[in-house]
Amino acid sequence: MLDLTVNRNSKPPLYRQIAEQIKTQISNGRLPANSRLPTVRGLARSLGVTRLTVQNAYAELQADGWVEATVGRGTFVSTAVQQMSLQPTVGQFLTPDSAINDMLAINQVIGVRSMAMAHADPSLFPTDAFWQQMERLRPEANALLSYGPIQGDAALRVAIAALLHEDGIAAAPDDILITSGAMQSISLAAQAVCQPGDWVLVEQPTFLGVLNVLKAQGLRPLHLPIQPDGPDLAQMEQLIQTHRPRCFYTVPNFHNPTGHTTSPAKRQAILQLAQQHNLLIIEDDIYGKLGFAGPPPPSYRQQDADDRVLYLSSFSKMLMPGLRVGYLLMPPAWRDQLLTLRRATDLCGTGLLQRALANFVQEGGLKRHLRRVLPIYAERRDALLNSLRRWMPTAVRWSEPQGGFSCWVSLPRCAPPGVLYHQALQHGFAFTPGEAYLLDDDGPEYLRLCFGNLGSEGIEAGVKLLGTLIQQQLTSAPTHSDWLPYV
């Protein structure tokens, strides 16, 4: 007899709650091999859920090998269950806490075509050119490998100030704080301006890393729906008036995971709302240099008249993630607090890497690299969109990013990404289910595809497989009428 419960207020979707409880009962021997599971109709009635929810749970169990289904006989615990355990596996839990680990693990598996991570293709890294910069610094290595300035290498701050000036952002080298990447910049900014218990506006969906940061700092995220031209302004004003959030975290250019870019009109309106309600803005521009059709609209920081924008970016996406070098533009009011937090968190970065990066940027290496790789990434974006048009069922919808690495895909409710994820992994293809990027249960029927790390042939092969798996779900579903809207 199955002993199952569901919690509608819990983060995991209902079908996954059911599947995980059944796995537990199989693993602890309560459900031995060849045990028959309840019928879909019977279990749905006893739990007060839809039959589709139970069908999705059983489909996930079958995809993972826990159960076997036979038409006319029912669903039974697999005879191979003795070899299975509840040890954590790639993709078993897809929450913000685990999704990053899952994606990093998948990235190391040889033979898997992965569209799970939004990062540059290692085969395109300017490794030789950067290594030459390191070799040139050999005479200075002893000094550069000693403790350095808390703010980071002075030459690198000069180079970054010049990059910001090209984007219309006025910044002196002394205004810039070098960090170990965008994640540290986000953490420092949030910790500087917020107190535990504060509300923070975040786009829905949002970068999953920021959800981990907010949780770790005791902050409360408010999800703000995002549209193809940026956040929903009516919802934003209502949330501000109701909850009085302390700040707004946003990725306005080639947003992760949707690929959307906030329009100039919405940026101006959001700045006006921020001024009216004393709202601070944490602007994450990590993808700003990765536009395929020219530069994006002016940044919030560029239009900021009263120092309420904390602007950050990183070299991880535009160059190489292993550098672990990001930067945060410090408004005067928050400068001392940010430096204190930086000192307490991480005394200084790696001076040798920072100086090599400074020389690489100042000598034009970054510009040459972007001129070389952006057309390649644009071709891969086109390959993805063409493959989606060719292989996806007509009910599937997707974004059309003008830069960055991410494409957001909306699926019918009867094609849950959790099930598709496990099925695709068995065929050597990986993506990220949308639930990792959302704050509630509205998103199991979305997924993110990243096109930076695969060539055109690999992209088409992966999308073709995914389209086939989705079509199989649609064919076996009792109804095709229950769709989610595209965002």
What is the mean pLDDT of each successive set of 10 residues along the chain, which is 487 residues long? Answer: 80 85 78 88 91 87 83 82 43 49 56 87 95 95 90 97 96 97 96 97 93 92 96 98 98 97 98 97 98 94 96 97 96 96 87 96 98 98 98 96 97 82 87 84 77 94 96 73 46
Q: Tell which of 305, 329, 363 closes a domain.
A: 363
280 and 198, same structural domain?
Answer: yes
167 and 316, same structural domain?
Answer: yes
- Could you tell me if 218 and 367 are in contact, meaning their C-beta atoms sit under 8 angstroms apart? no
Residue 166 domain-assigned (yes or no): yes
Q: Tell which of 313, 335, 363 closes a domain.
A: 363
How far, in Å, are 90, 119, 447 from residue 116 at the CA level? 12, 9, 10
How far, in Å, are 5, 89, 90, 354 from residue 30 at the CA level? 16, 22, 25, 57
Residue 481 domain-assigned (yes or no): no
Q: What is the pLDDT of residue 439?
A: 74
How far, in Å, are 19, 432, 448 from residue 93 at the CA level? 11, 11, 16
144 and 52, same structural domain?
Answer: no
246 and 326, same structural domain?
Answer: yes
Residue 433 domain-assigned (yes or no): yes
Q: Return phi, psi of residue 432, to 5°.
A: -120, 120
Q: What is the pLDDT of residue 2?
A: 78
Residue 89 domain-assigned (yes or no): no
Q: Return phi, psi of residue 224, to 5°.
A: -115, 110
322 and 196, same structural domain?
Answer: yes
Query: What is the extent of the structural domain holding 190?
Result: 127-363
Residue 3 domain-assigned (yes or no): no
Q: What is the pLDDT of residue 426?
A: 83
347 and 415, same structural domain?
Answer: no
136 and 249, same structural domain?
Answer: yes
Residue 134 domain-assigned (yes or no): yes
Give the span between the Cα atoms of 213 and 190, in whole angstroms. 8
Give the span between the Cα atoms of 479 and 487, in whole angstroms. 22
263 and 153, same structural domain?
Answer: yes
Number of domains in the chain: 3
Q: What is the pLDDT of residue 477?
A: 65
71 and 52, same structural domain?
Answer: yes
Residue 485 domain-assigned (yes or no): no
Residue 5 domain-assigned (yes or no): no
Q: What is the pLDDT of residue 30?
A: 77
Q: What is the pLDDT of residue 106?
A: 58
Q: Return phi, psi of residue 275, to 5°.
A: -65, -40
187 and 268, same structural domain?
Answer: yes
Q: Chain centroid to CA 318: how far?
A: 16
412 and 427, same structural domain?
Answer: yes
